[in-house]
């Protein structure tokens, strides 16, 4: 078997997307995944495809990614269950509505127009079932949601069809220089070499970074989600709240997904999470308040994925600060799904052209040099 | 209800009743949580309140359940019927729902006595009204004194099928035929195990029952293919004997049964390690001789840890309780071992001959691995063919089919599709189910309403107030 040009560690959406964008340029990528494709954050997240409310540094990337989402079938030959009925953040008080207005003004000043404030009448038109006390919302109309595992799997399949290779059940045990190459050994004793290494290892990415001499303060988190049995269709957009933590949407099959980033406990060495039902209950109360229609709905399942969060809540994207031929894309801090399509392209650009046309300085790994050393 | 118990036992069948009885009698503060309104589990369902007044209808084995309920009532254990347990955390906080509200009840030790489920029996038409599990029919009989009216056809394999036929006949039901799907070759594999079975004490009772049923009902053996047909509800059953031509029987009710398998959902969701049991062709939690699982403080008694039947469950309940006493520091190891000896002996007696039943009544492959157009996941209407297509795309296990096809994602959380999905994937990949694995199940393992969840008391004092009410 010929050696690859690039070894990507981690078969989540970002790893698969990077493999796809490389394969589209004729670069041979090998993805090493310790479990199976989309096993963790990429397969079990809420599936929100959201520009709304993003950190200023992420906005240009998010807008560029949204363009890819709207042509997702052309990119990966599968619609990924993507539906675009908008996302909105409900304001329950006048103060919250005012903060929505400030946010929209801020974005306009930056040159972006995808977020707008709507009044109570428009909110009720978009979300007829919203509780009466809600006064308005911040809306991003081209946002939506997709099916996470299906999306990740579609990226993998398309990449594979273009020549990328995927080794599942291949946990990376060690990386080391081998002449001009990186030598990557997996736990089952197999070694691969390539001149370029990409770290898309999600909640495990700090271990790889540490081996490369650049430790990062990564926190392993387990955002919790729950889903209901089918109820009659009542909701198209994805609904969040301004003053509370909530992510709420109904799938075409009638089930309703309730999330919002409340955390359970993660045990990454065991690939396991524990739920914290006291917090799940908080989420249930939020839904109770905002969607009276949901009070009799039945919860059939709840779960949490294992993800990485950085101290400043934005990811690490870009070249290594210590080693040639190494690139990072991790630490998406519970909102990396929408960015998946563009981050793969950015990383492929960095590898093949040495630069990206999108602003990524804010995501440099070097920003943690001091904090990680102190930690 | 106390704010915290030494021991919480989940499930009031024979294992749960004996475990709670023994533990409470020997001083542990014990609570028995059960979903049903009255004790008995499935096998002794409604034992204290069955409307079936003629004891001969259900048989003497059924009425033995009353011998377990009396001592339990006198044991001092608290009893919470009508309680759905939907989660147990690693820290042994039990999530439960009762009277429309949810609570978290902490315990120092937990015994799961969640019993068995009927093995899914996916044949074309099994989702038609009028088709149901023999177990469900038996529950109707025990709790409400009801039998299916009109012409009943029973199909499948295993002791429960014969027992239900016998009970049905005694209750005056009309059984038109029994389609026995036990594969011929099973006899060859079971024969060497017959001597132990012959000494088991079941053999006399079993034979008598079998002969009585066979005298009164047409039994069609070596059935190799089966489907239910009907417009809006089952009207006929189409079957094949061996390689023979298709035959058709009219039926108002079709009762299906392919044995029982452990109900592992709660244990799985807690994270108890489990293994594939080749003899019983099902996943079973890993337990030691005392029922202890891989999760500290969680033990399993009875059929939930592997099918052994009601009598075995009784003794396994006592053994698990003795181990709980030991682990909680109430008795030393020597006392545990000494007191366990008679129960262990009784357990060995109760399990004698089980190998023979496992070998004889192992369902044939065509019924475990259905054809493409048969629905395997009823909640999401996913067919065996769709599962095979997903395997062709590179899906290697049931957790990926869950993400990919939504099978196992419905309200039953895989109870009705899990075993079949595993068999279909294993067959399509040409590997053992052991390699394919099983669903990672998620709490709540019993559906609860948003309102119940929202009612969960938040602060410590709030919890205490609820528990003391």
Smallest CA–CA distance from B392 into chain A, residue: A157
Mean pLDDT of chain A: 95
Beta carbons of A281 and B102 less than 8 Å apart: yes
Contacts A299 to B, Cβ<8 Å: 444, 447-450, 453
- Which residue in the block uniquely carries the two structure tokens 């099978």? B407
At B45 the pLDDT is 86
pLDDT band at A372 (very low <50, low <70, confident <90, very high): low
Rounded mean pLDDT, A213-219: 96
Size of interface A-B (CB pairs under 8 A): 96
Say yes or no to pLDDT of A13 above 50: yes
Task: Render pLDDT for B346-380 as a digit per residue (tens, 0 to 9).
Answer: 999 999 989 999 999 999 999 999 999 999 999 88
At B466 the pLDDT is 45
Is-cis flag, bond preceding B466, omega within 30?
Answer: no
Q: Looking at CA atoms only, how far is residue A285 from chain B in angstroms?
A: 5
Rounded mean pLDDT, B145-165: 94
Say yes or no to pLDDT of B460 above 60: no
At A373 the pLDDT is 54
- Cα(B183)–Cα(B427) distance, rounded to whole angstroms? 18
At A1 the pLDDT is 54
Task: Render pLDDT for A67-114 as a digit per residue (tens, 0 to 9).
Answer: 999 999 999 999 999 999 999 999 999 999 999 999 999 999 999 999
Smallest CA–CA distance from B402 into chain A, residue: A149
At B404 the pLDDT is 83
Task: Render pLDDT for B417-432 as a digit per residue (tens, 0 to 9).
Answer: 999 999 999 999 999 9
Lowest-confidence region among A58-62, A128-132, B400-404: B400-404
Query: Considering the entire predicted model, what is its pTM?
Result: 0.92
Beta carbons of A280 and B453 less than 8 Å apart: yes
Cβ of residue A267 closer than 8 Å to a chain B Cβ: no
Rounded mean pLDDT, B213-218: 96
Contacts B400 to A, Cβ<8 Å: 36, 149
B196-205 long-range Cβ contacts below 8 angstroms, 24+ apart: B196/B352, B196/B353, B196/B355, B196/B356, B197/B352, B197/B353, B197/B355, B197/B356, B197/B357, B198/B353, B199/B352, B199/B353, B200/B352, B200/B353, B201/B349, B201/B352, B202/B353, B203/B353, B205/B61
pLDDT band at B467 (very low <50, low <70, confident <90, very high): very low
Smallest CA–CA distance from B270 into chain A, residue: A274
Task: Render pLDDT for A313-363 as a digit per residue (tens, 0 to 9).
Answer: 999 999 999 999 999 999 999 999 999 999 999 999 999 999 999 999 999
Rounded mean pLDDT, A29-44: 93
Pairing of strands B116-118, B260-262: antiparallel
Residue-level length of chain B: 469
Beta carbons of B449 and A297 less than 8 Å apart: yes
Mean pLDDT of chain B: 93
CB A6 within 8 A of CB A29: yes
Question: In terms of Cα–Cα distance, which of B69, B70, B94, B80 is closest to B35?
Answer: B80
Q: Looking at CA atoms only, how far is residue A145 from chain B in angstroms?
A: 16
B430-433 long-range Cβ contacts below 8 angstroms, 24+ apart: B432/B276, B432/B278, B433/B276, B433/B281, B433/B283
Task: Render pLDDT for A242-294 as a digit per residue (tens, 0 to 9).
Answer: 999 999 999 998 999 999 889 999 999 999 999 999 899 999 999 999 999 99
Task: Give the largest Cα separation in chain B, rounded.
Answer: 70
Task: Render pLDDT for B39-90 as a digit per residue (tens, 0 to 9).
Answer: 998 888 888 888 887 878 888 888 888 899 999 999 999 999 999 999 999 9
The residue that leads in pLDDT, A173 or B461, is: A173
Residue among B400, B442, B448 whose CB faces A298 most closely? B448
Rounded mean pLDDT, B383-401: 92
- Cα(B226)–Cα(B219) distance, rounded to whole angstroms? 15
Cβ of residue A296 closer than 8 Å to a chain B Cβ: yes
Rounded mean pLDDT, A218-227: 96
Say yes or no to pLDDT of B202 above 90: no
Contacts A150 to B, Cβ<8 Å: 403-404
Rounded mean pLDDT, A45-49: 93
Smallest CA–CA distance from B95 into chain A, residue: A277
Beta carbons of B448 and A299 less than 8 Å apart: yes
């Amino acid at each position: 078997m010929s050696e690859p040009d690039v070894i990507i560690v981690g078969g989540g959406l970002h790893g698969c997307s990077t493999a796809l964008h490389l394969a589209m340029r004729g670069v041979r990528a090998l993805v090493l995944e310790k479990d199976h494709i989309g096993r963790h954050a990429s397969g079990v997240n809420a599936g929100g495809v959201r520009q709304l409310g993003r950190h200023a540094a992420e906005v240009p990337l998010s807008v560029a990614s949204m363009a890819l989402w709207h042509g997702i079938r052309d990119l990966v030959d599968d619609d990924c269950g993507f539906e675009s009925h908008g996302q909105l953040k409900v304001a329950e008080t006048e103060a919250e509505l005012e903060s929505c207005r400030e946010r929209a003004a801020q974005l306009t000043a930056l040159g972006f127009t995808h977020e707008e404030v709507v009044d109570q009448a428009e909110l009720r038109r978009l979300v007829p079932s919203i509780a009466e006390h809600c006064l308005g919302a911040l809306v991003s109309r081209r946002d939506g949601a997709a099916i996470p595992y299906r999306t990740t799997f579609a990226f993998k399949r398309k990449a594979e069809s273009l020549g990328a290779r995927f080794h599942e059940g291949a946990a990376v045990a060690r990386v080391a220089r081998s002449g001009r190459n990186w030598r990557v050994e997996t736990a089952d004793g197999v070694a691969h070499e390539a001149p370029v290494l990409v770290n898309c290892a999600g909640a495990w990415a700090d271990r790889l970074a540490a081996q490369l001499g650049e430790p990062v303060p990564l926190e392993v988190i387990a955002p919790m989600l729950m889903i209901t049995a089918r109820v009659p269709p009542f909701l198209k957009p994805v609904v969040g709240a301004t003053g509370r933590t909530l992510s709420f949407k109904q799938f075409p099959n009638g089930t309703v997904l309730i999330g919002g980033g409340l955390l359970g406990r993660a045990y990454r060495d065991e690939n396991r999470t524990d739920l914290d039902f006291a917090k799940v209950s908080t989420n249930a109360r939020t839904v109770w308040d905002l969607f009276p229609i949901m009070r009799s709905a039945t919860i059939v399942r709840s779960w949490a994925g294992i993800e990485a969060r950085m101290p400043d809540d934005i990811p690490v994207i870009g070249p290594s600060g210590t080693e040639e031929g190494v690139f990072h894309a991790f630490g998406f801090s519970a909102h990396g799904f929408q960015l998946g399509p563009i981050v793969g392209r950015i990383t492929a650009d960095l590898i093949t052209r040495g630069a990206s046309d999108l602003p990524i300085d804010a995501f440099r790994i070097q920003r943690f040099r001091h904090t990680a050393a102190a930690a | 209800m106390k704010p915290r118990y030494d021991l919480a036992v989940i499930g009031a069948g024979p294992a749960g009743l004996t475990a709670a009885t023994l533990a409470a009698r020997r001083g542990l503060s014990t609570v028995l949580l059960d979903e049903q309104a009255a004790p008995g589990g499935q096998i002794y369902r409604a034992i204290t309140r069955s409307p079936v007044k003629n004891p001969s209808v259900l048989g003497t084995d059924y009425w033995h359940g009353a011998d377990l309920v009396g001592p339990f009532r006198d044991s001092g254990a608290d009893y919470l019927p009508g309680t759905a347990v939907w989660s147990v955390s690693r820290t042994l906080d039990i999530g439960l729902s009762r009277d429309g509200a949810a609570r978290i009840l902490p315990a120092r030790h937990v015994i799961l006595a969640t019993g068995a489920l009927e093995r899914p029996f996916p044949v074309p038409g099994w989702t038609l009204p009028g088709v149901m599990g023999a177990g469900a029919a038996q529950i109707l009989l025990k709790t409400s004194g009801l039998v299916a009216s009109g012409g009943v056809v029973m199909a499948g394999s295993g002791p429960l099928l014969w027992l239900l036929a016998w009970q049905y006949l005694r209750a005056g039901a009309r059984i038109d035929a029994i389609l026995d799907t036990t594969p011929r070759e099973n006899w060859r594999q079971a024969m060497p195990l017959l001597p132990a079975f012959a000494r088991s004490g079941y053999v006399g009772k079993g034979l008598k029952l079998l002969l009585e049923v066979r005298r009164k009902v047409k039994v069609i053996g070596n059935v190799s293919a089966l489907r239910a047909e009907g417009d809006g509800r089952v009207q006929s059953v189409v079957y094949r004997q061996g390689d023979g031509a298709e035959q058709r029987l009219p039926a108002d009710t079709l009762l299906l049964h392919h044995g029982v398998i452990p109900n592992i959902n709660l244990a799985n969701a807690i994270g108890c390690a489990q293994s594939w049991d080749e003899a019983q062709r099902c996943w079973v939690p890993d337990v030691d001789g005392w029922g202890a699982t891989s999760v500290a403080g969680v033990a399993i008694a009875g059929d939930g840890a592997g099918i052994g039947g009601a009598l075995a469950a009784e003794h396994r309940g006592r053994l698990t309780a003795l181990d709980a006493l030991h682990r909680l520091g109430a008795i030393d190891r020597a006392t545990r071992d000494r007191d366990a000896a008679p129960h262990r002996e009784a357990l060995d007696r109760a399990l004698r001959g089980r190998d023979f039943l496992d070998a004889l009544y192992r369902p044939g492959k065509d019924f475990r691995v259905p054809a493409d157009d048969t629905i395997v996941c009823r909640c999401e209407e996913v067919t065996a063919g769709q599962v095979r297509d997903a395997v062709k795309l590179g899906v290697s296990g049931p957790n990926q089919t869950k993400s990919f096809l939504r099978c196992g994602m419905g309200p039953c959380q895989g109870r009705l599709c899990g075993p079949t999905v595993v068999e279909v994937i294993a067959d399509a990949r040409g590997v053992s189910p052991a390699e394919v694995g099983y669903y990672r199940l998620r709490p709540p393992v019993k559906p609860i309403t948003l309102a119940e969840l929202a009612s969960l008391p938040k602060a410590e004092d709030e919890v205490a107030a609820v528990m003391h009410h």
